[in-house]
Amino acid sequence: MPSLSVTLCRLLSLMLCFTLVVPGWAADPSRHPRPPALQTAGPWYSGHVQGIAVDRKGGYIYYSFTNLLAKYDFHGRLIGTLRGWSGHLGDLDFNPADGKVYGSLEYGKEDAFYIAVIDGARLDRVGMTMGEADMMRAIYLAEVTKDYAADLDGEGKVTEDASSDHRYGCSGIDGVSFGPAFGRIDGPQYLTVAYGIYGDKMRTDNDHQILLQYDIGEWDALAKPIDENMLHHSGPATMRGKYFVRTGNTRYGVQNLAYDPTLHRWFMGVYQGNKPVWPNYLLFAVDGHGAPILSDLIGVRGRDGAKWEKGLLLPLAPEGLHDTQTGIRGWNQKADVGFQPLGDGLYYLVQNAGAKGRQSAEISLMRWTGDPSRPFEPAASR
């Protein structure tokens, strides 16, 4: 029979081995459950999947299906669903600081744009609605409405399409993510929300992605439930900053925004643009180290005699495919319906499946490769 010291050594060896095989979850499996390599959510009678949020500590994945929020655990069990809004729920992110899910919520016809704040811990059964148990509150974003509802041609009305109105081609909002201040890779976490941008090929003022960054420290006092009969305008009076990223036009702007703490990048998944002068990549990344610089917003007409308007420009990361004509970098990687870094060099990429009225989401655990032509591979392939 082996001695106690030999037995302890064997146990320690096994623990060390497990830690090497499963980094990031082995030290305390009960605190950080291991995420699944694959998971399917749905099918649901809903819009298509817009984005996901992952609660690593709790072991849950939240899916936005436009007019439905679904919560699953890491074992694939459905925990609960939330409905009750007629607006467009877009991309999501989970805030470990307060345990809540944040998502973009649009009421475009009413010129009202919000960040929905959802108490995920209370989402514990199928069929819940946003009004019960104070499940969902919302923060109004006045800056978005100002740009969306801009009457640029002075006709006294704002057209619903992209032909002449909407400053910068703003079509609303979609991508959301928590991360540090631009130009930093540490420090306080802020909420960043990305504009949707109309894909109008005839305009020149819609070739930048636009990111608003907010300090949510005072948001608890501002958040109010949504009453669709009388939409509220309770939200922050100011932003921490408004930033621009020159990528070329994309259809409906940044669909998925995600800060990656491993690579220190702000990834932006988009629907492919169709202006032939641009490379029209599917995925871009802002360099987290790059400080914003006040520069010309090429294509956006200036005022008071200035050729171009000025704004705070953020640099793209010096990685990926490189278009020599425009200098733009990016990847031909689908990331428009769900993209979520998990840390430790792991990511969830989402594929949408199904037809109208019967929608599913399929997520895959991936690992970063650094290859410009194939930036991700299945995590299980190594």
Q: Using one digit for the tens of pLDDT, what is the confidence trace for 351-380?
A: 999 887 799 999 999 999 999 999 999 998
DSSP assigned state of 47 = S
Q: Is the pLDDT of residue 260 over 80?
A: yes
* Whole-number percent of the chain with pLDDT over 90: 82
Contacts of 269 (CB under 8 A, 6+ apart): 175, 254, 255, 256, 257, 258, 282, 283, 334, 335, 336, 337, 339
Does residue 17 have a pLDDT over 60? Answer: no
Cα separation, 273 vs 250, in Å, equals 4
Q: Looking at residues 291-311, what average pLDDT do you find?
A: 94
Residue range 38-381, CATH number: 2.115.10
Residue 323: is it exposed, middle or buried by C-beta count within 10 angstroms (0-12/13-18/19+)?
middle
Residue 122 has pLDDT above 70, yes or no: yes
Averaged pLDDT, 173-183: 98
Alpha-helix residue ranges (DSSP H) falling in the chain:
4-21, 142-148, 219-222
pLDDT at residue 299 greater than cutoff 70 = yes
Closest CA to 34 of 375, 263, 349, 344: 344
Query: How is residue 129 written in tokens?
Result: 């609605």
Query: pTM higher than 0.85, yes or no?
Result: yes
* Confidence at residue 98, expressed as pLDDT on a 0 to 100 scale: 96
- HSE toward the beta carbon, residue 271, CA cutoff 13 A: 12
pLDDT > 80? residue 240:
yes
Mean pLDDT of 2-24: 38
pLDDT score for 163: 67
Q: What was the pLDDT predicted at 4?
A: 42
Tell me, what's the pLDDT at 20? 31
CB-facing half-sphere around the CA of 144: CA atoms within 13 A: 32
Q: What is the mean pLDDT of residues 274-302?
A: 97
Segments of the chain assigned to CATH 2.115.10: 38-381
Which one, of 288, 286, 293, lies nearest residue 313 by Cα? 293
